[in-house]
Structure 1
Amino acid sequence: MPVYKLYYFPVRGRAELSRLLLAVAGKDYEDIRISFDEWPKKKSTIPTGQMPTFDVDGQLLCQSLTIARYIAREYGYAGKSNMEQALVDQVVDTASDYLGEYFKCYFAPEETKKEAIEKYLKESTPKTLTCFNKWLEQNDGGKGFFVGSSMTMADLAVYEVLTNVVLRDSKILDGFPKLVEHRNRVAFLPKIKEYLEKRPKTDV
């Protein structure tokens, strides 16, 4: 059985998709959270100079989506065919782009941060929600998951990226009932529910 160590900051951020995948797969791992004060010393030891990183029996993996896809493929959450994998990837990559936009706003200078987040919620968010909703409805009318008949990393990616906007505006999904139902469906998967009840609460 492999020994896993996941390194990231003490936030959800770009490591949370991998944490959710490990949770739903029921796999133990060491969740090593590096403080922002410790980070400058750690940075020089990482090939990309970025986190998250994922240690698998001494083999270090870098890049958040590389890590998430490795875990998803290892435990059956990446799609069951080449086409399913492509459909999963388009959802995951869109969620990642959307998350990147949010980080630019969240880490903007204080004098422009509020305006940047408001613009993100009013302009980028409706477009992305419409896209997610369309993809969800294309699979069995949106009654289940994004791809195929069972949960994949696409479902976890959308669940997590929407956490940020729901925390900002609890009514932001009001016009997207299928996405609300999907969000509840994911949150009440037994292992995800157990993980969410225990995970530290953070802004991002």
Structure 2
Amino acid sequence: MSNYRLLYFNIKGKGQLIRLFLHDHGIEFTDDTVPDDGWAAIKPTLPFGQVPAFWDGDFSMVQTAAIMRFLSRKHGAYGTNDTEKAQIDMAYDGVEDFYVRYIRFIYDDFAAGKDKYLAETVPESVLPTLQKLLMRNKNGEGFLVGDKISFADYHLFQFLDALMDLSALACLEAFPVLKAYYERIKARPNISKFLASDLNQKRTFNGAGH
């Protein structure tokens, strides 16, 4: 029986990476959400005053990347050697750069900037770079690094899933390698089951209504 507990807002956001990892690996955990009126009391109790927060029994931590690396080391999803670990770190951080810009756009410029983001930023900058990154490993026919899924793959999938929610047709049709990758990860049995669950379906990607 797992003693894992995740605390996050009742959205997908950064907590979704951790959920995807745990569901995909068939690991039981408690998926707790911050109560609507409870954040002011919870925030001061957490390092850096932020979520996602994660517990493994009495041990607790925050920072999404740190949590993902912790879980990956424990459950064999961090490459097979130091070179693969470095490539996974690089891929995760590269996706994170794009994700941070996406979040900034969502919260600061969504209404006015959506059309330009989908028409220019995504097809001209984001997706070409990500597809090129994916194709560095076996022409993009497997995972980002090596022969096994890593925590970087969950980040890339979650980001692509958020973009697809913005506009499925505008995103992946012109990038067949990236689209095939997205569909492969989405079809993994435990991920597919989780994504189809009522709990997941009710959550938006962020707190801005998307």
Q: TM-score with structure 1 length normalisation?
A: 0.92
**What is the letter of the counterpart of residue 194 of structure 1?**
K
Matched, 1:187 2:186: yes
Give the percent of matched residue pairs that are identical in Structure 1 and Structure 2. 29
Give, as a single letter, the amino acid of the residue that structure 2 aligns with 1:173. Answer: L
1:173 alignment counterpart: 172
Write the letter of the residue equivalent to 1:80: T
In structure 1, the gaps of 5 or more residues are: none
Check the 8 A contact 1:146/1:155 in 2, yes or no: yes
* Preserved CA contact (<8 Å) 1:102 1:117: no
2-structure distance, mates of 1:36, 1:130: 39
| 1:87 corresponds to 2:87 | yes
Look up the SS of the partner of 1:54 in the other structure: strand
Q: Which residue of 2 aligns with 1:49?
A: 49
1:1-204 aligned at under 5 Å gives the runs 2-108=2-108, 112-126=109-123, 127-171=125-169, 172-198=171-197, 199-201=199-201, 202-204=203-205
Map Cα deviations across residues 132-169 of structure 1 (whole Å, 9 max, x no partner).
Answer: 11121121111111111122222221110111111111
CA contact (8 A) 2:194 2:200 kept: no
- Paired residues in the alignment total 201
Question: What SS does the aligned partner of 1:191 have?
Answer: helix
CA RMSD of aligned residues (A): 1.6
Q: Which runs of 5+ in 2 are unaligned?
A: 206-210
Distance of 1:130 and 1:31 partners within structure 2? 34
Deviations 1:74-106 (A, max 9, x none): 111111111111111111112222222222222
In structure 2, give the amino acid aligned to 1:75: H
Check conservation: 1:91, 1:132, Cα contact below 8 A.
no
State which drifts further: 69-78 or 33-42: 33-42
CA–CA separation in structure 1 for the residues paired with 2:173 and 2:145: 23
CA deviations on 1:160-194 (whole Å, 9 max, x unpaired) are 01111111111111110001100111111111112
TM-score under structure 2 normalisation? 0.89
